[in-house]
């Protein structure tokens, strides 16, 4: 089975043809002729690796009214993702090999073709008390461990998780928020929270825990991955740690690059997310962090919810944004059209670096890599319409926004799984 992608523009190569044989990229050259190959016309389009999402919630098993593996992987394909890592806060919690295997098997049997890599829980039931079946989950195919959504408040448990996880080649994906300091806050603490009469969460809640886990990582000489960094101070802590050689990686999410707590003034609960959207100065620091390598990756934190969980008072609403289908446009709009980075730089943070963090043979277009790629038009203008999402979660604060950059086709292992 041969596939020839002709006439597109590729990162590093420029205008080139790409030949795929048996699901793997075999050649990339200026002009390839290949008899018998199926030809994909990529004229005028950008050909790039499929994006690798280190952080999403597929809600399956148990919360299929929000999302399931079928709808979630279809939405991921439409968003230009070819690999996604799904968090453990399902029902039951993915804290054992049975649930890990269920997710992997269902994704293979019924999913859109996007690779689904489960992230196992750190603690049983996400309760922060006893360690989950980390070794069993690793053997079943989990790629990392995290109690995402429930910060690991017990530093000894975090230490043990880092030690035990690393023995199985798994890094802790660390949702950094000190729950005591969060203190039931629902948005960023500052001028806007005071103005709106909503309870604020201090940025220190995030930074205290980033600092703690940098100290653990440095002391133990073990890797740590910081999830969804949202503050300027968080970026600076990570930058300094990297300079000292700490084995730390980090991600941020598109909504932190695009939104600030000004959006909360609508009282639209679709703006409610953990950690909360911050200030313009934080956005600038996050973008600078992505540009200088402090922040390794962009991850969506795709968190679909049912409308009944969002169309309520701000204080009562659940946190999270449905992010798969807007990530590419929001990032390209902000980072590339905003003149902070080139498409090649964007590929590094959206594809290459996250693939490296979970040690998968993708995220780059070069011979020998899996043929997981997308065709995209970085300039196409369109209007975000949540009603058209393939995700069951329509919860986005970016509905109605005019953006530039659209995913046209998605391929996994050389097979097309999505066409716009």
For residues 59 and 416, give the distance between their C-alpha atoms in angstroms, rounded to a whole number.
Answer: 25
3-state SS, one letter per residue, for 66-126: CCCHHHHHHHHHHCCEEEEEECCCCCCCCCCHHHHHHHHHHHHHHCCCCEEEEEECCEHHH
CB of 341 to Zn ion, least distance (A): 25
Bridge partners (DSSP) listed for residue 202 = none
Active site residue 95: no
> Token pair 């909503």 is at which residue?
198
Of the two residues 175 and 255, which places its CB atom closer to Zn ion in the complex? 175
Question: In the complex, what is the shortest distance from the CB of residue 227 to Zn ion, in angstroms, rounded to a whole number?
Answer: 5
Residues at the interface with Zn ion (CB under 5 A): 148, 175
- Whether residue 191 contacts residue 279, with contact meaning beta carbons closer than 8 Å, is answered with no
Residue number, 74 or 302, with CB nearest to Zn ion: 302
Helix axes 232-243, 280-292, angle to 10 degrees: 20
148 vs 333, beta carbon nearer Zn ion = 148
**CB of 174 within 8 A of CB of 165?**
no
In 175-266, the DSSP E strands lie at 187-188, 200-201, 224-226, 248-252
Distance, in Å, from the CA atom of 16 to the CA atom of 367, rounded to the nearest integer, reads 13
Between CA 81 and CA 244 the distance in angstroms is 33
CB of 149 to Zn ion, least distance (A): 5
- Closest-CB residue for Zn ion? 175
Residue 256 or residue 411: which is nearer to Zn ion going by CB? 256
The helix/strand/coil state of 240 is helix
H-run or E-run covering 166: helix 155-167
Catalytic residue among 53, 68, 95, 301: 301
Angle at which helices 69-78 and 97-110 cross, to 10°: 60
31 burial (CB, 10 Å; 0-12 / 13-18 / 19+) is exposed
**3-state SS, residue 378:** strand
Answer for the pair 419, 374: CB distance below 8 angstroms, yes or no.
no
Nearer to Zn ion, 148 or 206 (CB): 148
Strand ranges, E, within 284-334: 297-298
Asked if 144 contacts 203 with a C-beta cutoff of 8 angstroms, the reply is: no
Least distance (Å) from Zn ion to the CB of residue 176?
9
Question: What's the closest the beta carbon of residue 301 comes to Zn ion, in angstroms?
Answer: 6
Q: Which is nearer to Zn ion, 148 or 282 (CB)?
A: 148
Cβ 210 to Zn ion shortest distance, Å:
13
What does DSSP say about strands 187-188 and 200-201: parallel, antiparallel, or unpaired?
Answer: parallel
CA distance 244 to 229: 19
Cβ proximity to Zn ion, 76 vs 176, nearer residue:
176
- The DSSP 8-state label assigned to residue 319 in this structure reads P
Closest CA to 273 of 265, 264, 282: 264
Name the residue nearer to Zn ion (CB basis): 118 or 413: 118
Q: How far apart are CA 113 and CA 415, in angstroms?
A: 9
Catalytic residues: 301
């Amino acid at each position: 089975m041969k596939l020839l992608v002709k006439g597109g523009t590729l990162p590093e190569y420029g205008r080139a043809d790409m030949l795929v044989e048996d699901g793997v990229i075999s050649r990339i050259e200026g002009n390839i002729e290949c008899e018998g190959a199926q030809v994909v016309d990529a004229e005028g389009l950008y050909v790039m690796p499929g994006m690798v999402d280190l952080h999403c919630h597929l809600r399956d098993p148990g919360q299929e009214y929000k999302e399931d593996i079928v709808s979630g992987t279809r939405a991921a394909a439409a968003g230009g993702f070819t690999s996604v890592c799904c968090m453990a806060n399902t029902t039951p919690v993915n804290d054992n090999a049975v649930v890990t295997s269920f997710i992997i098997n269902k994704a293979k049997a019924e999913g859109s073709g996007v690779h689904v890599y489960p992230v196992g829980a750190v603690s049983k039931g996400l309760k922060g008390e006893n360690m989950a079946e980390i070794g069993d989950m690793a053997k079943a195919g989990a790629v990392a461990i995290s109690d995402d959504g429930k910060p690991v408040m017990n530093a000894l448990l975090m230490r043990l998780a880092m030690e035990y996880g690393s023995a199985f080649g798994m890094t802790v994906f660390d949702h950094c928020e000190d729950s005591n300091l969060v203190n039931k806050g629902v948005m960023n603490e500052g001028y806007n929270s005071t103005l709106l009469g909503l309870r604020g969460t201090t940025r220190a809640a995030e930074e205290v825990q980033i600092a703690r886990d940098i100290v653990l990582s440095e002391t133990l000489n073990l890797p740590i991955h910081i999830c969804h960094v949202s503050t300027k101070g968080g970026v600076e802590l990570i930058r300094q740690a990297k300079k000292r050689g700490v084995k730390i990686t980090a991600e941020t999410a598109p909504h932190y690059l695009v939104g600030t707590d000004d959006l909360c003034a609508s009282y639209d609960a679709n703006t409610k997310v953990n950690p909360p959207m911050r200030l313009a100065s934080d956005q600038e620091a996050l973008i600078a962090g992505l540009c200088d390598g402090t922040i390794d990756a962009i991850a969506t934190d795709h968190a679909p919810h049912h409308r009944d969980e969002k169309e309520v008072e701000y204080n009562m609403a659940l946190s999270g944004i449905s992010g798969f289908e807007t990530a590419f446009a929001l990032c390209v709009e902000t980072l590339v059209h905003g003149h902070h980075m080139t498409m090649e730089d964007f590929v590094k943070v959206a594809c290459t670096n996250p693939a490296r963090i979970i040690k998968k043979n993708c995220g780059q277009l070069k011979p020998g890599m899996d043929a997981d790629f997308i065709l995209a038009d970085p300039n196409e203008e369109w209007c975000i319409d949540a009603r058209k999402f393939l995700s069951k979660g329509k919860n986005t604060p970016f509905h109605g926004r005019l953006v530039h950059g659209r995913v046209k086709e998605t391929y996994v292992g050389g097979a097309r799984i999505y066409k716009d």
